Amino acid sequence: MGGMDQDNSTAIQQQVTQASHDKSVLDIRGGGSKGFYGHAVNGLPLDVTPHRGITNYAPEELVLTARAATPLAEIEHALNERGQMLPFEPPHYGDSATLGGTIACALSGPRRAAAGAARDFVLGTRLVNGCGHLMSFGGQVMKNVAGYDVSRLQCGAQGTLGVLLDVSLKVLPRPEQELTLTLAADFSDALTRVATLVGQSLPISASCLYDDHLHLRLSGARCALQAAIKKVGGEHSSQSTTFWQQIKEQQHPFFSRFAKQAGSRLWRISLPAATPHLLLDGEWLMEWNGALRWLTSDVSIEQVRRVVSNVGGHATLYRGGNNDDARFHPLSDGVAKLHYQLKRAFDPHGILNPGRIYPSL
């Protein structure tokens, strides 16, 4: 736990209270590594970065609590030293990534399909709502049904319902061993093969199809992996760790290709895993056993969303495009209404990151 650790709750609370009083919009700023995700907020910067430090880590309880601006790298280092990990394998997108930003954006990495998403591991939060009220929800225990699950609700709310102060997470042991097998496969082969393998309870912790190569990461006890290798087949990859790191952090060349082509955008498409290949022109990369598909394409925003909606998925404009392009998939009227009512319940003056996800939310 670093020398920069500091509890800055009171200062943050005071700033929010003042802004609430003045009805002035706040632009919540952590490490800035996920600034590209969502719309820019036009407001007074609220710098939360001084509020950092791991406040409790009990490996035998599988629980870690840290202040929101604690660097993600510091948390992962502490966990690694005790043979544990954040099971949702969050992308950092830069050295400045913090725990708060990770939870606020609810981003999960390659292990998501096997282990669960960021929200699945949130146990509790301390936060300041838009009235400047400092509150605690959930806790540091695995099971808790006291009150509404306001903590998980913060996951993906991008600060629009509250400024995260502390987050408690469930953590898990690191697998004893990980290895990657690579097979030649086209899209439909890959989908079928992955579904079959996962359906057999094989320990597949990540999958990626790109350029007709299916990469499968196996994680678990050494003995279990030896048995699984025989069932999966394929070639051992020697670059296993690097490959998944590049996929997770979008350092793989696929993810920057959109920038080289005028009018091209990088789409994150989330949909039911067994959905056949979508008829949208562009270059594809598949993860999460088919449930997450990245698309680099210059097809119109409306066309992408229409095709994805038709199969029960949603499309996020991840990178590229213009400032005023809608980044997130539109909500149905009924669900949108609940969003605006919830927003008012937490932030009646609309001062916390308004417009970051949807206009005036």
Partner 1 sequence: MQHEATHATPNINKAELLKELSHIVSADGILHETETMRPYECDGLSAYRQLPWIVVLPEETDQVQRIVALCHEQQVPIVARGAGTGVSGGALPHAHGVLLSLAKLNRILDIDPNNRTARIEPGVRNLAISQAAAQYNLYYAPDPSSQIACTIGGNVAENSGGVHCLKYGLTVHNIMRLEVITASGERITIGSEALDSPGYDLLALMCGSEGMLGIVTEVTVKLLPRPERVQVMLAAFDDVVKAGAAVAAVIEAGIIPAGLEMMDKLAIQAAEDFAHAGYPRDAEAVLICEVDGSNEEVSEHVATIRDIFLEQGATKVRTAQDEQERAILWKGRKSAFPAVGRISPDYYCMDGTIPRKALPLVLKRISEMSAKYDLAVANVFHAGDGNLHPLILYDANKPGELERTEAFGGKILTLCVEVGGTVTGEHGVGIEKLDQMCVQFGALELEQFHAVKAAFDPQALLNPGKAIPTLHRCAELGGMHVHNGQLPHPELERF
Question: Which residues in 14-33 contact partner 1 (CB under 8 A)?
Answer: none
- Interface of this chain with partner 1, residues 320 to 339, rule: CB under 8 A: 328-332, 334-336, 338-339
Minimum distance, C-beta of residue 338 to partner 1, in the bound complex (Å): 6
Minimum distance, C-beta of residue 316 to partner 1, in the bound complex (Å): 7
Which candidate, 337, 284, 340, places its Cα nearest to that of 307? 284
- Interface of this chain with partner 1, residues 116 to 145, rule: CB under 8 A: 116-117, 119-120, 129, 133-137, 139-145
- Interface of this chain with partner 1, residues 156 to 195, rule: CB under 8 A: 156-157, 161, 172-174, 176, 195
- Interface of this chain with partner 1, residues 256 to 295, rule: CB under 8 A: 270-274, 288, 291-292
Task: Count the helices and strands in the chain (H runs, E runs).
Answer: 10, 17
Burial class (CB in 10 A: 0-12, 13-18, 19+), 201: exposed
Fill in the amino acid letter for 68. Answer: A
Contact residues for 220 (Cβ-Cβ < 8 A; gap 6+): 175, 176, 177, 203, 205, 228
DSSP string computed for 261-276: STT-EEEEEE--TTPP
The count of chain residues that interact with partner 1, using the rule CB under 8 A, is: 84
Minimum distance, C-beta of residue 10 to partner 1, in the bound complex (Å): 15
Nearest CB to partner 1, comparing residues 73 and 336: 336
Residue count (the chain): 361
- Interface of this chain with partner 1, residues 37 to 66, rule: CB under 8 A: 58-63
Q: Is 104 in the site for partner 1 (CB under 8 A)?
A: no
Cβ burial 162-190 (10 Å sphere, 16+ → b, else e): bbbbbbbbbbbeebeebbbbbbebebeeb
Minimum distance, C-beta of residue 16 to partner 1, in the bound complex (Å): 13
Nearest CB to partner 1, comparing residues 71 and 128: 128
Identify the DSSP state of 6. Answer: B
Minimum distance, C-beta of residue 174 to partner 1, in the bound complex (Å): 7
